[in-house]
Structure 1
Amino acid sequence: MKTDLTDTTARQIDRAVVEARRALGTPAVGMVLTLVLVTDEENAYDALRAAEDASRVHPSRTIVVIRRPGRTPRDRQLSRIDAEVRVGADAGTGETVLLRLYGEVGRHAESVVRPLLLPDVPVVVWWPVEAPEDPRHDPLGRLAARRITDAYAVADPIAALGDRARCHAPGDTDLAWTRLTPWRSMLAAALDQARADVTGAVVESEADNPSAELLARWLAHRLGVPVERRTTEGPVITAVGLDTVDGPIRIDRPDGALATLSLPNQPERTLALRIRSTAELIAEELRHLDADEVYASALHGPVAE
């Protein structure tokens, strides 16, 4: 069920959500969080689709904030809220409120979002593309227990990691880190099997890949060895190698779908290591809303050579 509201208010939007819920007989008691998605018009469709897919695992109210500042000084002084309310099959397994904020009200988006938050459940804010330099002190970020950014989606990913490290606070995370979960699991399992001291490491990826940079910093921090960064054609991370006293450990993923694991004195193995969708990444992040201390240590780890 969809309801369009033009030149509206937060109170009218909330009333429209309640009326739509009553019409469909779908109570809000099963929702586990509020996801606030802050994006632009160009990226709103893909981000909202990922959020709605993730809501099938974590039923939630998704509030999409799109600022439309206006083209002229007069337009920027005007304030207007247009909204679209989706409940039922049109919103995954939760509810969606899509807000377009015009003019001055766009600079005070938190005043529109706050009355629409579900009571007594956590709030997560996700910036799919451009994020504030300091998410914790952003007006919308202050509403959240978890703040999700994505360094991979910005023009200078490595500089973005520098901003994340400088302003990091408990509750901050980045999808560049979430993408590493399968790699970290596979490397940990390989070291459990090899049981050998590591003397060095190398991470190979496309240029300026923030996930590769975080992986290199994590390895350097955890293993206490120098980590080399090598640039390849991609896609994304293509290989990770560990030098050990018993011989090399290497995971090769040249095509982004299957990987080959090589261990000293053992036959090679082929493993699934596909590139995951944004919906899968968001669903993973929504499973745990506590501080990610491992991400923080990787973010502040030594820069790879």
Structure 2
Amino acid sequence: MNIDLTDTTSSQINSALVKARRATGMPAVGMVLTLVIVTDEGNHYDALKAAAEASKEHPSRILVVIRRPGRTPRNRHTARLDAEVRVGSESDTGETVLLRLHGELAGHAESVVLPLLLPDAPVVVWWPEDAPEVPSEDLLGVLAQRRITDAAATEDPVASLGLRARTYAPGDTDLAWTRVTGWRSVLAAALDQRHSTIRSAVVEGEAYNPSTELLAMWLADRLKVPVERSVSPGPGITAVRLHTADGTVCLDRPDGALAKLEVPGQPERHVALKRRTTAELVAEELRRLDPDEAYHHAVSYGTDRLGAPGSAAEEEPAPSAKAAPAKKAAAKKTSAARKTAARKVVTRKVTKSK
């Protein structure tokens, strides 16, 4: 059922929701959360489509906030709220309300959203494109237990990661981090199968790809080893190589779909590591609403601490602590022997001249 409301209020929208729910025979108690999407007119269709797919796994009330402040002095100060209510087949398993905020009302979206939140249910706010600098201090972000951003949708994704690190608050997350879940799972499973000392790592991926940066920072933070960030044609993350005392653990995905896992002493295996859709990413984030400490530690590590190409020890393993003194002693003996031989040669020359 679809109901269009022009120049309306939050109270009238709630009444329309009740009316539509009764007409379709759909109860409100089946919904588990409220998902607020903050976007613009040009991007709301794709975001709403992804949210509707995610709502099949997490039945929710979806509120799409579309700000339209106005472009002319005449309508810039005219506050008006237009809404479109979709219940039943129009919104899959939940309820959807498109909120178009005109004029001055565009700067006070929280006053419109607050009366429409499901009572006693978690709130998640998602910014598919332009997120505020500090999501936890945004007037809509304050209402949420979970705040989702996407660094990949910004003009400078790597700089966005730095901003997310500086402004992090419990409940913040980013879809760039969600995209590396599969890589983290496969790498962790590979290391569990074979325990070996890890000396360095290399992460390959597209330039300006925030997921590649986050995966490299996560490895550096968890393994406490030098990690090199290498650029490849893509798509997305293409390979991870962990250099261990027993050889190289390599997870290679050149085509963005099927990855090849190589572990020393084990046969080569293929792993399904397909690049996921936005709907799948959002659905994963809605599964847990508690603070993501792993994301916090990874994004806070800093891209400036990653090694440049060629800085990580790739070919020759680093000498162990016990071998270092022995090598130094051998070098000293060699140097002393060379000096003694040189003195003998000089003495012979002087004797001959006499």
Question: Is the TM-score greater than 0.5?
Answer: yes
> Aligned pair 1:31/2:15, yes or no?
no
1:6-25 equivalent positions in 2, closer than 5 A: 6-25=6-25
Alignment match, 1:295: 295
Consecutive unaligned residues of structure 2, counting only runs of 5 or more, are 308-354
TM-score, length of structure 1 as denominator length: 0.99
Alignment match, 1:128: 128
Three-state SS of the structure 2 residue aligned to 1:189 is helix
Consecutive unaligned residues of structure 1, counting only runs of 5 or more, are none
Alignment match, 2:236: 236
> Aligned pair 1:200/2:200, yes or no?
yes
Higher strand share: 1
1:79-94 equivalent positions in 2, closer than 5 A: 79-94=79-94
Deviations 1:110-143 (A, max 9, x none): 0000000000000000001110010000000000
1:118-197 equivalent positions in 2, closer than 5 A: 118-197=118-197
Q: What is the rounded CA distance, in whole Å, between the counterparts of 1:272 and 1:30 in structure 2?
A: 33
Three-state SS of the structure 2 residue aligned to 1:73 is coil
Alignment match, 2:54: 54
Alignment match, 2:109: 109
Contact 1:151 1:176 in 2 (8 A): yes
Deviations 1:262-305 (A, max 9, x none): 11122211111000111111111001000000110101114222
Q: Which amino acid aligns with 1:219?
A: L
Alignment match, 1:273: 273
Contact 1:80 1:103 in 2 (8 A): yes
Q: What is the rounded CA distance, in whole Å, between the counterparts of 2:67 and 2:83 in structure 1?
A: 12
Q: Which amino acid aligns with 2:63?
A: I
Deviations 1:180-218 (A, max 9, x none): 110000000111112111100011001010011111110
Q: What is the rounded CA distance, in whole Å, between the counterparts of 1:134 and 1:75 in structure 2?
A: 29
Three-state SS of the structure 2 residue aligned to 1:74 is coil
Q: What is the rounded CA distance, in whole Å, between the counterparts of 2:22 and 2:249 in structure 1?
A: 58
Q: Which amino acid aligns with 1:241?
A: R
Contact 2:162 2:302 in 1 (8 A): no
How far did residue 226 of structure 1 move? 0.8
Alignment match, 1:264: 264
Q: What is the rounded CA distance, in whole Å, between the counterparts of 2:74 and 2:269 in structure 1?
A: 64
- Let me know the Cα RMSD of the aligned residues: 0.7
Q: What is the rounded CA distance, in whole Å, between the counterparts of 1:288 and 1:271 in structure 2?
A: 25
Contact 1:240 1:250 in 2 (8 A): yes
Three-state SS of the structure 2 residue aligned to 1:142 is helix
Q: What is the rounded CA distance, in whole Å, between the counterparts of 1:291 and 1:114 in structure 2?
A: 23
Q: Which amino acid aligns with 2:282?
A: I
Q: What is the rounded CA distance, in whole Å, between the counterparts of 2:157 and 2:21 in structure 1?
A: 41
| Identical-residue share of aligned pairs (%) | 67
Alignment match, 2:248: 248
Contact 1:52 1:92 in 2 (8 A): yes
Q: What is the rounded CA distance, in whole Å, between the counterparts of 2:290 and 2:199 in structure 1?
A: 33
Deviations 1:133-154 (A, max 9, x none): 1000000000000000010111
Contact 1:221 1:302 in 2 (8 A): no
Contact 2:4 2:83 in 1 (8 A): yes
Q: What is the rounded CA distance, in whole Å, between the counterparts of 2:5 and 2:198 in structure 1?
A: 60
Q: What is the rounded CA distance, in whole Å, between the counterparts of 1:74 and 1:161 in structure 2?
A: 39
Alignment match, 1:99: 99
Q: What is the rounded CA distance, in whole Å, between the counterparts of 1:22 and 1:74 in structure 2?
A: 40
Q: What is the rounded CA distance, in whole Å, between the counterparts of 1:73 and 1:159 in structure 2?
A: 35
Counting matched residue pairs gives: 305
Q: What is the rounded CA distance, in whole Å, between the counterparts of 1:194 and 1:236 in structure 2?
A: 27
How far did residue 18 of structure 1 move? 0.7
Three-state SS of the structure 2 residue aligned to 1:101 is strand
Q: Which amino acid aligns with 1:218?
A: W
Greater C-alpha radius of gyration: 2
Contact 1:220 1:302 in 2 (8 A): no
Alignment match, 2:227: 227
Q: Which amino acid aligns with 1:128?
A: P
